[in-house]
Every structure is written in structure tokens, then in C-alpha cells.
Chain A
Amino acid sequence: MIPEIGHYALVLALLLAIVQSVMPLVGAARGNVAWMEVGRPAAYGQLLMVTVAFGALMWAYIVSDFSVLNVAENSHSLKPMLYKISGTWGNHEGSLILWVLMLALFGAAVAWFGGNLPPTLKARVLAVQGMIGVGFLLFTLGTSNPFIRLDPAPLDGQDLNPLLQDPGLAFHPPFLYLGYVGFSLTFSFAAAALIEGRVDPAWGRWVRPWTLVAWASLTLGIALGSWWAYYELGWGGWWFWDPVENASLMPWLAGTALLHSAIVVEKRDALKTWTILLAILTFALSLMGTFLVRSGVLTSVHAFAVDPQRGIAILFLLVLATGGSLILYAMRAPSLKTGGLFAPVSREGALVLNNLLLSTATATVLIGTLYPLVLDAMGGSKISVGPPFFNATFVPLMIPLVAAMAVGPLLAGKRADLAGALGRLWAAIALTAVVVLWALWAHGADSVLALVGIAMAAWAFFGAIVEMAERIRLFRVPLADSIARARGLPHGAWGTTIAHAGLGVAIAGMVGTSAWVSEDIRVMRVGDTATVAGYEFRLDKVEELRVDNYITEQGTFTVLRDGAVIATLYPEQRWYPVARMETTEAAIHTTFVSDLYAVLGDRTEDGTGHTVRLYHHPLVPWIWFGSVVMVIGGLVSLSDRRFRIGVPQGRGQSGKAPSAGGIAPQPAE
């Protein structure tokens, strides 16, 4: 009964989405306030209905209702509760419902928080959001209905791969989706602004918090995924330039560009047509990721929803959304008035450079991901585009980006003094030099790229710190004054500093583990010792244990440094008899500046020893620590009070009342 309620709720949600996409739009065109107002209750209703549908599916998973095909295919009565719940979105149909739920959530959020939006813009945003909802609900109901019943119901489900029953994976998809789908809202704002025929600084301000939400979620989602890869796949790799990873990186890069270009719209009333285009493209890239993964064009070994019919349906949605909005763009963008002026060397100029490099980086990932598919489809040869390609093309684009990142925030708006800004960064330059000298001393000059990378990391980090110190005039005015200044700064400024510093930390982690990893692969017998990067790994014992639903061979390593015990590691090799699967569980000890990573392999043929892989990954935890810091930066920015009131004010003068004339061109500074 409950699955039928879910199914019915999904149909109701579709009907509400249709109402939401038509009535407010017509109302806005005709100036009919009552029709415009329909968008709000429709958005709430859609959210309610989709929540009911999602809840119904989750209920079917929780009680293991195997008369539902989707549950029978993806769950098992003995599965732990956490994974029964996460199993709801652990498959194509369920994950689509999650997609639609997020979509409805963002629609309802605009309806709820959008009190300060002009009524027509709000109506149009809700209408466009409703249209996307219609597309995805139709897709779900038409090709991927999770509520299909089985008769007779099987006694038990087919279960999920035990390896995938992992807390990291349980929460990775929801954040990733929150990011992808969050960009649907910036898309809706862009389309609504085009229909409206007007983009002004206020639009930039309204769209920025939503971009921040989407960006922070996507950052966290990607970080969780790479963390899982790191600890689960057994050799410490965290990024593989896999097409599926690229599918999430592209919207992230474009979204990062969007986050920055919207600042120029907000502060200088410029870069408007570009920002609109970027908003459209960011969501198009999110949709393309969905298409690539679910259509089966990427790879034949994909177990996930390889169904041409679904692929064509998503392609149709992608073409409709992107094509429709680009036609609208071509019609309306030329008529958007150009606003404020600024010199090339200015904060705005730096943001243009940021956008130039980030969009080129996005294009590079796009080309690298699609080129083999296109070449193959056109009858060309089959080629592989792997990490060496991206290291040669993507990484060089990141170097000027990071170099400029530390300088940009120190430049004044409109017209700035580059030499002066660099002069104020002297401390960052000095500290970066110290870090590079340390790297040379500790690791030598074998890898020049690693030195460049670590320099970039230090530059980004110290640049952000120095920028903040400059803003609060640290050590130049009495400390109490500095603290007062720090408290008075807008949260947006703090967010920038935190996020930029976080990126520096993350880059250090990436460089450290890529360039300076030490490994040892060898056969060890109990009592043997192996030394990796100055750490002694002693294999104390290997024992067979029976735990819950698996048998495990567990090794005990004692790690010593200069004779002192640092850690005890328990890597395992597990055998799941029911699923007939073998898994390796790496053991990791983190010291915050590096990870000790041990993997127990097979017993040797003579039965006396085991193959083991021992690693020392320098700085690797910083990748995820830095990512979390970036997310925090995004959230701090989000808490900026300027976002709660949709009117721009003079640049960064927090604490003072905004000037009422702020929407007009910025007064001279």
C-alpha cells in the first residue's frame, strides 16, 4: 500500500510541477498577481509530494518490502539499518527520486526565502524550476519508476555489494546531488532574468547565496568521494581523472567561476551576459554528467542503468534545457545593458582572469572527457585519455590561477595598483620562499613540478592570511583596533580568506602525496621488519577471525620510529562467504602531516609469508582537511547579512547601514 502512495504522490508532484511551470510564467507576463502567487504553494506542494514519495521508497527499504522490485534488486533483510536507508539512493531509480527531491527542495527554498525578490522575477524563477521538475518527474515516472511491484515477491533481496556498505559512500551522493541540483537554481535565475530582460547588481546578489550552497555541497561531495577512494581502493589513490570524476569536476569548475563572476555583477554591474551564460553552462554540465553516467556511452562495464532508452531521455532533457536557454540567451543577451567600468588591473580585472582560466580549465576537462567518445563515434581510432594528458594540460592552467588568487583580493575595485598589492604581499612571498627551501632540503630538487606545486600551495595559503592581516591592519594599529576591524568585516570577506587558504592547504596535500610518497611492496613473514620513510613496520602476527558475516585474515603491524612505538595497524583481507567476495581493508594511521598506510595481501604460495604494501603518504590528510576548510569558507560567506537583504551597498562597508541608492551605479570610491 505504501509504495502505491509513493507512486501516487509522484504523479501528484508532476501535476503540481506542471502548474508551477505554467501559471506563474503566464501571470508574470500578464501582470496577474494571483497567477504569479500560485508558484509558491505549488513549490511547497511539489516538495511535500516528492518527500512523501521519497519517504515511501525509504520505508520500503527499511521494512525490506521485497515485493517492490527496486528493493528486491538492491537490498537484503540482514543489511545494517544505515545501509538499508542509504540503499534508497544507492541505485538508479532511487537516486533519481533523490535528485527530484533536491530539485523540489531548492524550489521551495526560493519560495520561502525569496521574500525580497521582485514578484515577477520570483514567479519566473519558480516557473523555470518547475519546468526542470516536470522534465525529471516525467523521466522518473516514464523510464525509472522505483515503485514497480513484483508478484510473487522473492523471499529475500539480492543485496548490495558489501564493499559499498560504507559510511563515506552513504553520504557522498546526497552532497554531490545537492551540488548538482543546486546549480539548477542558478540556471532558473539566469533563465528568469533573460525572460525578464534585465540583469542588475541585485540579481548578482540574489543568485550568489544559491551558488554558494551548490558550490559548498559539491565541494563536500567530491571530497567525500575521493576520500572513500583513498581509504578503500587500497593504494592511496584519490583522483583518477576518470570520466565519472570529471563529470563532477566540470560543474565544480564552472560553478567556481560563476561564484566569482557574480561578484562583478553585484559590485560593478558588469560581466552580466557572461555570468548568465556561465549559469546556463554550469547546469548544462551537471545534466551532462548525469547523461554520461546513466546512458552507458562512457563504458560498457558500467553496471549502473545502462539503458539506451534512459540515455536518450536524458539527452533529450539536456538538449531541451540547454538549447532552449541558449536560444533565449541569443535573443535577449544583446539587449542587456552594460554597466560599470573598471581598469584591467583591478579586483574586477582579476576576477575576469579567474573566469578566463577556470572556464578554459573546464573546457580542457570537457575536451579530455569527450574527445575519445567523439573520435570513436566518428569512426576514428580508439584512444585513451588518462592522467598524463590532464597533468600536461590542466595543471599548467592552475598555476597562474593560484598565482593570481593571492593577489586578486588585495586589488582595489575599479582601478588598482599591482605593484603596491605585490608589495603588501612581501610577507607571503617570504614565507613561500621558506616553504620552498624547506621542500628542497627535505625532498631535494628531483621533482621541479612538486616544488612549483608546493610554492603554489604556500602562496595561496599565506596570500590569504596576509590579505586578511592587511584588511584588519594587523600589527599596524593596536591589537584591539585590529580585532574590532576583524569583527566589523563582512562575512563574505572572511569567507574568501578561509576558502582561499583552504585551497592552499588542499593543494599542499595533493602535491605532497603525489610527489613524495614512499612505498614498499614485499613479502613479509611474522617477525619481519620493513622500513618506509624512516618508519619501521614490524609484522607481529597474522590471524584468522570470524566476524559477523565475514571471515577475515588480520595482520598486526607495529610501527616504530627511532625505537618508539608510533601506532599499531590492523590491515585485513576479508572473505564474505554469502556474497562470495574478497575485499582488502587498508589500515591507516594519520599523524595529521602524513598517513601511514598498510595493506595485507595474499598469503604466499609456500604459506610462510604475505604480500604486503606499505606506504608513507606525506601531507595527504590535508587534501580533505583543506576541502572542509573551503566548505566552511563557503558557509561563512553564506552567512553574510548582505545576502539576507537583496540590495547591494557600497563595497564591503559592513556595520554601516546600506545606502538606499546602492542599486544605481557604484559611487566613486
Chain B
Amino acid sequence: MRRWHALLTLVLLLLASPTLAVMPDEKLADPALEARAREISKELRCLVCQNQSIDDSDAGLARDLRVLVRERLVAGDSNDQVLRFVHDRYGDFVLLRPPVRPETWGLWFGPAVVLLIAGAGAAVYLRGRRKDAHAVAVSADLTPEEEARIAALLAKERGEKRS
């Protein structure tokens, strides 16, 4: 149901303006430039949509942004310059790859920190598993009732297998 409703939202958005994402009239004649435009579009969020890039979205605003991106490219901007231009105008929210700065350090470095801590934990654990090699491994102690129970279950299973 969860996904279902995200998709419902997507669908409703599609219905809001029944045209498909990138339109033929938007495309640039130069295939290399158009390819760069598509690449940049995937980095930019359609601001009025739930979680779509402007490349996937049919909303009017997404179209405006796609056209803007292409205008900047035709004007000779590099990919970074285009992204900076759009970022300056629309703020952080438009970037699907959030900028790295103190506020987002947790986001960008969090996974690496988790990996380091978990990795250190795993290393310590693995060392412990090896170091104690001479220690006596202790395990579950079974009560006599449990031993009897296991024996009974095993006997039953064997019986089943034979039949």
C-alpha cells in the first residue's frame, strides 16, 4: 500500500497535465548538447512534484526548467555552471544531490562513519572469535527434559523419513 500510494501520487501528477515528460520541441538539435541536458535534468528536482526529477516529470514547472537548462547549455555554460545557475535561483531544494556543507555532513559522511564504526566493531568481534581459540567454548546447556524431547523428535523424524 505504501508504494502504491506514492505511485498513486505520481499517477495523479501525470494526470494533472496529460503530456509526457521531455517533449520533441524541447530537444536540442545537437545530440551531444541534448545528452548533457538530459544528464543535468536527472540532477534537478521538479519542485512541485513529490520526488521526481525534471527529466521524468510532466509538470509545467519541470518543462520550464528543462527549457532553462537547454538555454544555458546553448549559451555555452558547462554542466556545473548550469547547475549553479539553477541552484542560485531555486535554492537547495532543487538539487537531488544535496550540496556538501556542514549542515549536510551528516548525510554525506554518515554512511561512511557507520561503515567505519561497524567495520571496527566487526574487526574487534572477529579478533575475539579467534583469540579465544584455546578457551573452552560454552554453549547452551540442555536440561534432561530437553535432551529427551530432542531424542523423541529425532526418532519421529526418522520414522517419517522411512515411511
Contact = CB atoms under 8 A, between A and B. Distances in A.
Contacts of A422: none
Contacts of B119: 356
Given A242-B51, A247-B2, A521-B24, A384 B96 contact: yes
B42 interface: yes
Nearest to A200: B140
B104 interface: yes
B126 A602 contact: no
A611 interface: yes
A239 to B, nearest CB: 10
Given A269-B140, A521-B24, A583-B15, A387 B7 contact: no
Contact of A660 (B19, B132, B151): B151
A384 B93 contact: yes
Contact of A242 (B50, B106, B111): B50
Nearest to B99: A383
A202 B20 CA distance: 56
Nearest to A115: B153
Interface in B76-102: 91-98
A90 B43 CA distance: 33
Contacts of B15: 163, 581-583
Contacts, number: 252
Contact of A342 (B111, B118, B129): B129
Given A176-B1, A237-B56, A383-B93, A352 B20 contact: no
B140 A202 contact: yes
A367 B52 CA distance: 19
A176 B94 contact: no
A613 interface: yes
Contact of A388 (B21, B43, B126, B151): B43
Given A339-B139, A646-B153, A302 B130 contact: no
A169 B4 contact: yes
A248 B97 contact: no
B5 A611 contact: no
Nearest to B27: A521
A408 interface: no
Interface string A349-376: 1001101100110011001100100010
Interface string A265-298: 0000110000000000000000001101100000
Nearest to A523: B24
B151 A389 contact: no
A645 B20 contact: no
A591 interface: no
Contacts of B8: 161, 164, 303-304
Nearest to B140: A200
Interface stretch (A40-48, A134-142, A225-233, A620-628): A225-233
Interface in A236-277: 237, 240-245, 247-248, 269-270
Given A387-B96, A584-B20, A363 B5 contact: no
A163 B95 CA distance: 30
A225 B3 contact: yes
A522 B24 CA distance: 5
Interface string B107-149: 1101100110011001001111110110001111010001001
A226 to B, nearest CB: 8
B98 to A, nearest CB: 4
A584 B18 CA distance: 8
B103 interface: yes
Contact of B142 (A116, A363, A582, A663): A663
Given A201-B140, A344-B130, A164 B11 contact: yes
Interface residues of B, number: 72
B11 A243 contact: no
B50 A173 contact: no
A332 interface: no
B114 A363 contact: yes
B61 interface: no
A270 B104 CA distance: 37
Contact of A360 (B3, B92, B114): B114
Interface string B21-38: 111100100000000000
A200 B139 contact: yes
21 contacts: A161-B11, A161-B12, A164-B8, A172-B3, A173-B4, A232-B11, A234-B14, A234-B20, A235-B21, A242-B51, A243-B6, A248-B2, A304-B1, A304-B5, A337-B140, A338-B138, A339-B138, A360-B115, A368-B107, A383-B92, A388-B43
Interface of A: 89-90, 92, 95, 116, 118, 161, 163-164, 169, 172-173, 176-177, 198, 200-202, 222, 225, 228-229, 232-235, 237, 240-245, 247-248, 269-270, 289-290, 292-293, 299, 301-304, 337-344, 348-349, 352-353, 355-356, 359-360, 363-364, 367-368, 371, 375, 380-389, 392-393, 397, 521-523, 573, 581-584, 599, 601-602, 611, 613, 641, 644-647, 657-658, 660, 663-665
5 cross-chain pairs, A with B, having the tightest CB-CB distances, nearest first: A386-B96, A200-B140, A244-B6, A388-B97, A364-B111
Given A241-B51, A645-B154, 16 more contacts: A163-B15, A247-B2, A269-B139, A293-B1, A293-B5, A340-B137, A343-B129, A343-B130, A360-B111, A364-B114, A380-B103, A383-B93, A383-B107, A582-B15, A584-B18, A599-B20
